[in-house]
Amino acid sequence: MAAAASAITPSRTPRLPRRVGPTAGGGGGGGAEAGGGRWWGRRRRGLLRAVQRHLRPPRGDPRREAKDARLRGAPLPARHMWPSLIAKCKEGGADVIETYIFWNGHEPAKGQYYFEGRFDIVKFAKLVAAEGLFLFLRIGPYACAEWNFGGFPVWLRDIPGIEFRTDNEPYKAEMQSFVTKIVNIMKEEKLYSWQGGPIILQQIENEYGNIQDRYGQAGKRYMLWAAQMALALDTGVPWVMCRQTDAPEQILDTCNAFYCDGFKPNSYNKPTIWTEDWDGWYADWGEPLPHRPAQDSAFAVARFYQRGGSLQNYYMYFGGTNFERTAGGPRQITSYDYDAPIDEYGILRQPKWGHLKDLHAAIKLCEPALIAVDGSPQYVKLGPMQEAHVYSSGKIHTNGSISENGQICSAFLANIDEHKYVSVWIFGKSYSLPPWSVSILPDCENVAFNTARVGTQTSVFTVESGSPSYSSRHKPRTLSLIGGPYLSSTWWTSKEPIGKWGEGSFAAQGILEHLNVTKDISDYLSYTMSVNISDEDVTYWNSKGVLPSLTIDQIRDVARVFVNGKLAGSKVGHWVSLNQPVQLVQGPNELTLFSEIVGLQNYGAFLEKDGAGFRGQVKLTGLSNGDIDFTNSLWTYQIGLKGEFSRIYSPENQGYAKWSSMQNDDTQTPFTWFKTMFDAPEGNDPVAIGLGSMGKGQAWVNGHLIGRYWSIVAPESGCPSSCNYAGTYGDSKCRSNCGMATQSWYHIPREWLQESGNLLVLLEETGGDPSQISLQVHYTKTICSKISETYYPPLSSWSRASNSRATLNTVAPELHLQCDEGHVISKIIFASYGTPSGGCQNFSVGNCHASTTLDLVTEACVGNNKCSISVTNDVFGDPCRKVVKDLAVEAECSPPLATEEPRDDM
């Protein structure tokens, strides 16, 4: 089955009716509220101690330094990417990797299990452990995750009497069987923490609280059953139910949202856990691309820990690609880039990755103070929308300096105002807080990090459709290109027959539900019948100057109408009506209705009832003697496409289709197969294929299905020319890519390619121009940074004294630049120390400028993968006294072969 080779991505969550937003506490009550979820106080016993044992590494283990055990969501993409991705998560400050277990991937047919390739969860878990990280296993087995059918296998809906996710015996039996299977594998492989493995947490169900009321009392009974079933498996580590406010005492209820600083678990004995921190959002075909600014993501995380959070997971830290037909529905794109800190191709998205890395380092500097608090931190109201939370080993007098106090102390200062800079007074000093920001003071004196002040580099790589990095659509940028602009000048075509083509076709009375027929082995199902048209009808239409229409009450996702083998028209939508004029001739006419799925529903109650295809009546209207109802007529059904079932996309099956050389003047017709051969780009950089010149279809490389492609264009409106990070984020804020195809570029994993002779096969549904397809390598081309001499010292200059107090060795701020792994800085495009203006790719020299800047930066950086430069007069001299100076640099990255002999890194 094709589905068995699909990529795994962990959970995300669809649009939800309730959000937990950032709020400012008030007075003493605010302090109690902010610290109520802290789980390391001495008063919490029982289950709490069991949780703590598994969340904390043993004494002496360096991982114990990470009190907060932050998690980063990670999927199971193409396997060759796993080690690099896990390493980048760790480098970014992760302590734990979170991943989903997809039921439909691991049990593609009832009782037939698959744990190979990209579904080798044991291999993945061992790689996580080898990096010294923990694992959070979200078994579910319902996932959502913008994944096809939410992770449910389609065969599940065919079990007699079954109802999903409720007190239903057939469903509970299958769910228990699968969850037990996964747990037993983890035990057998000794992957639980008490066995020496990495698994410290696991999840049963997923956001059931959002829909539980739809099932009445049966929903409540099911939830309690799921909890007890999971506990009875005796895994030895805690179970989580996210967004389940009525979770039993032995189960940890957690938060999923854009903000969770106001979240409280349903028991004083439970830690405050943020299972899904949505640092981006998914994209639908025909919609703009969401983007969440790095400053707001950092603000949300800092507020969570400021107000008592224990453990937090980014959803997503790496989004990846939904290869094959694993993308969910309705109509979610193949890319699952998600604006994540690591992009779809495995490259660091800057500044988001670097800014969050600095945040994590700053929070970890506060660890001794965070765990020293018994109960709640001290709460200090600093203004109408400003507040401080102070963590210390004893009572702190916040009105004066604490430098001589001797206590362990860390503080978070927050400004919730969306518009104003505010100066606040605490610890005998004044601190300036940007709007919508949190400052972190590991020693209750010096600011190590502010969420609104970005000190990491900006990287410019793919920002066109399919990779939701924020940009104005008026300034599109493209992938860096090595090689020629087009993939191939030689193409072959093969025509796909419409309607009945033979194998697997059958006749049945009435309109059958799409999924009941196909069992999701294909996106496609055709319904064909013969319609006899009289001479009177033709005369009637000619005299009126009208055409008859084919009407369907409801269709989902794409419906196409063919008359005598020719496309009459199409309709796109989710359970919308179709009214298509058709050109019929006297005598018999072959009418074919073509139903296409673009991802099965992945969220909501009663998923088993959603289905696909057509609903209601199917009629031919506008005849001389009235309408004809075809709803209960005899239809011939054909599952899938002939080329699909002949596997003509595989190198070994090329003889199963009649291929013809495509000429430049060939007219492209719907449902045509295209193929060509191509060589892989040199090097190891990720590969992307541009399919913007095509219409809609699917693409295979060497027999591997990249996924669906669709060059549907997003609306012209809805994308601002700039994005303000401040203020509550929602998925419609800071969108980009308006007026362009939602996705044009598609990831081809390197492990699918050979040096030469690669086969690309496309199924094109609507017509396109394959000669315009390009193949490009994806890497960071341009890197920029701008740092003030008043910026904070590098976080590496902080250390801990013998009493665990955080201490700062005062040094100058530093500007850091780094290319992708295997690339070097080949050229400095711009460098100025003084008063440069503008932003990345738009810097200009100001009135104050040190003339030596370019030479000094070139000497320090060119030929190296990374470099760091102190932002101080000691390096550049003082070009203008008594003026605050900035260092701005724009550099170009290239593969090593394109540069001079590289020097050693600084």
Q: So which residues are the catalytic ones?
A: 207, 276
The residues, any chain, with a CB within 8 Å of residue 82's CB and separated by 6 or more, are 76, 123, 124, 127
Backbone angles phi, psi at 105, to 5 degrees: -85, -35
Q: Which of 877, 833, 882 is nearest to 854 (CA)?
A: 833
- Strand duo 71-73 + 96-100: pairing: parallel
DSSP secondary structure, 28-43, as one string: HHHHHHHHTT---STT
For 80, other C-beta atoms within 10 Å of its C-beta total: 12
Q: What is the largest CA-CA distance in the chain?
A: 103
| Angstrom distance (rounded) from CA 150 to CA 352 | 28
Residue type, 638: Q
The residues, any chain, with a CB within 8 Å of residue 551's CB and separated by 6 or more, are 577, 578, 579, 580, 617, 618, 619, 620, 621
Exposed (0-12), middle (13-18) or buried (19+): which is 650, by Cβ within 10 Å?
middle
Q: Using an 8 Å Cβ cutoff, are 849 and 879 in contact?
A: yes
| Angstrom distance (rounded) from CA 285 to CA 696 | 11
Q: Using an 8 Å Cβ cutoff, are 503 and 645 in contact?
A: yes
| Angstrom distance (rounded) from CA 733 to CA 664 | 44
Q: Where are the alpha helices (DSSP H) in 264-351?
A: 294-306
DSSP secondary structure, 564-624, as one string: TTEEEEEEEEEEEEEEEE----SEEEEEEEEEE-SS-B-SSS-GGGT--EEEEEEEEE--T
Q: Which of 594, 597, 737 is nearest to 286 (CA)?
A: 737
| Angstrom distance (rounded) from CA 570 to CA 562 | 9
Q: How far is CA 211 from CA 216, 219, 604, in A?
A: 10, 9, 7
Here the tokens at position 12 are 């995300």
Residue type, 18: R
Alpha carbons within 13 angstroms on the beta-carbon side of residue 383 total 19
The residues, any chain, with a CB within 8 Å of residue 522's CB and separated by 6 or more, are 639, 640, 641, 644, 645
Angle between helices 294-306 and 352-365 (to 10 degrees): 20
Here the tokens at position 732 are 């419609």
Q: Which of 330, 319, 243 is nearest to 281 (CA)?
A: 319
Q: Where are the alpha helices (DSSP H) in 383-534?
A: 514-518
Q: Using an 8 Å Cβ cutoff, are 459 and 780 in contact?
A: yes
Residue type, 734: C
Alpha carbons within 13 angstroms on the beta-carbon side of residue 269 total 13
Which 3 state secondary structure label does DSSP give 96? strand
Q: Using an 8 Å Cβ cutoff, are 798 and 449 in contact?
A: no
- Strand duo 199-204 + 239-242: pairing: parallel
For 584, other C-beta atoms within 10 Å of its C-beta total: 22
| Angstrom distance (rounded) from CA 93 to CA 72 | 9
